[in-house]
Amino acid sequence: MSADTFIFLDHTPLYTAIEQPATVEKFGGMVNNGLEASPIIHAALASALLVGIAFLVNRSYTNRGRNGLAPAEKTFSVSNLMELAVTGLLQFMESLMGSEARRFVPLIGGTAFFILFNNLMGLVPGLDGATANFNTTLACALVIFVATHVVGVRTHGAAYIKQFLGPVWWLAWLMFPIELIGHFARILSLSVRLYGNMMGDHRVLAIFLALVALGVPVIFMGMGIFIALVQTFVFTLLSILYITFALEEAH
């Protein structure tokens, strides 16, 4: 942006912090040096939005009183919508994990809503989703990875290592590195899938906006909403499965 043209956005707070192209091209631009603030600001925005919604829902519950389980209002409201979403998530988790599901709703639900909000924010003009940056998705995948192993150690204790050693003891030296590689591959596949889909989606949308500004990008926005939902669902499904694998006995 040239300095002599006065543009409204140049004087809005935070915009200069977002737009400065201070990335170091390393690993094909996948990893930046931390100076580019855009994904961090957008992740913070999504988190703030989620915390705000949580406060809103919590307040509507306390207003209903102690036994106010029935919906207070029959109209469309944020709290009803969130209730529907969280109930759906819990039912989905129970179908995969059984009775253990309730313990993991905060972890899985937290990552799921964070990713969903970021994915959808990427479609709003002027905003950008933090999940289109590899650092954010890697952080999400690492949270799931660490949680998986913490859950495994807490349920099985030291016997958790048996999951890495395979069925027979004389093959353990061979199975251990294979299982280890498999577990690290999960981090990579979780993070790269989400990052690649969201980044690719944004690029396609940007290119078609530049080519034909009217009409045609709507198709890709529809596709973008679909991709945002599906990728959130896939990330959630896979993190549930990984935790379920850690919960069950050694094979």
Partner 1 sequence: MAKSRGLYELLKLSSLGLEMGAAVVIGLLMGVWLDRQFSTEPWLTLLFLGFGFAAAVKAVVRALRKGIFADENDAPEE
Distance of closest approach, residue 182 Cβ to partner 1, in angstroms? 4
Distance of closest approach, residue 188 Cβ to partner 1, in angstroms? 4
CA–CA distance, 3 with 10 (Å, rounded to integer):
9
Q: φ and ψ at 176, to 5 degrees?
A: -60, -55
The H-assigned helical ranges of 104-171 are 105-121, 134-156, 162-165
Distance of closest approach, residue 104 Cβ to partner 1, in angstroms? 17
Distance of closest approach, residue 137 Cβ to partner 1, in angstroms? 13
Query: What's the N-to-C CA distance of the chain in angstroms?
Result: 59
| Candidate list 15, 160, 208, 233; residue touching partner 1; CB under 8 A | 233
Region 80-139 residues binding partner 1, contact defined as CB under 8 A: none
Site string for partner 1, 159-198 (x = CB under 8 A): --------x------x--xxx-xx-xxx-xx--xx-----
Q: What is the DSSP secondary-structure string of 154-202?
A: HHHGGGGGHHHH-SSGGGHHHHHHHHHHHHHHHHHHHHHHHHHHHHHHH
Residues 145 and 187: beta-carbon distance below 8 Å: yes
What are the structure tokens assigned to 196, written together?
A: 């690649």
Closest CB to partner 1 among residues 53, 165: 165
Closest CB to partner 1 among residues 44, 188: 188
Residue 45 interacts with partner 1 (CB under 8 A)? no
Please state at what angle helix 78-97 crosses helix 105-121, rounded to 10 degrees.
120
Closest CB to partner 1 among residues 216, 230: 230
Residue 168's region, left for phi above 0, alpha for psi from -120 to 50, else beta, is beta
List C-alpha distances in Å: 27 to 30, 37, 140.
6, 19, 20
Distance of closest approach, residue 181 Cβ to partner 1, in angstroms? 4
Total of residues contacting partner 1 (CB under 8 A): 21
**Which SS3 state, helix, strand or coil, does residue 26 take?**
strand
What are the structure tokens assigned to 94, written together?
A: 């129970």
| Candidate list 37, 41, 56, 237; residue touching partner 1; CB under 8 A | 237
Distance of closest approach, residue 60 Cβ to partner 1, in angstroms? 30
Closest CB to partner 1 among residues 64, 162: 162
Footprint on this chain of partner 1 (rule: CB under 8 A): 167, 174, 177-179, 181-182, 184-186, 188-189, 192-193, 230, 233-234, 237-238, 241, 251
